[in-house]
């Protein structure tokens, strides 16, 4: 548990680390909503070699609008290059 006034983006890596240690998890794919996204979190996930799926606003980039919003599929995977560090 984290204190109730802790921002989600600041709690993510602490929670991931504790769960991996507690349950002996070696391979992890972190799935997080946009409230947990921060440059520091993405960098930490990549530094630890963890896979991740992060939500984003639909209209964040043109690629999302062009690919995801024009598809009728229930799920449209889209991998974008990181836009900023």
Q: From the CA atom positions of the chain, what is the Rg in Å?
A: 15
Cα–Cα distances in angstroms (integers) from residue 50 to residues 45, 69, 70, 74, in the given order: 5, 28, 30, 26
Tens-digit pLDDT profile for residues 43-66:
899 899 998 888 776 666 677 777
Tens-digit pLDDT profile for residues 14-37:
999 999 999 999 999 999 888 888
The reported pTM is: 0.64
Contacts of 29 (CB under 8 A, 6+ apart): 50, 51, 52, 53
């Amino acid at each position: 548990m984290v204190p109730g006034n802790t921002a989600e983006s600041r709690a993510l890596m602490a929670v991931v680390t504790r769960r991996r240690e507690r349950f002996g998890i070696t391979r992890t794919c972190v799935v997080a909503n946009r409230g947990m996204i921060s440059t520091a979190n993405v960098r930490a996930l990549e530094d630890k070699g963890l896979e991740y799926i992060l939500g984003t606003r639909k209209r964040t980039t043109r690629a999302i609008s062009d690919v995801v919003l024009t598809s009728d599929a229930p799920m449209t995977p889209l991998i974008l290059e990181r836009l900023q560090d």
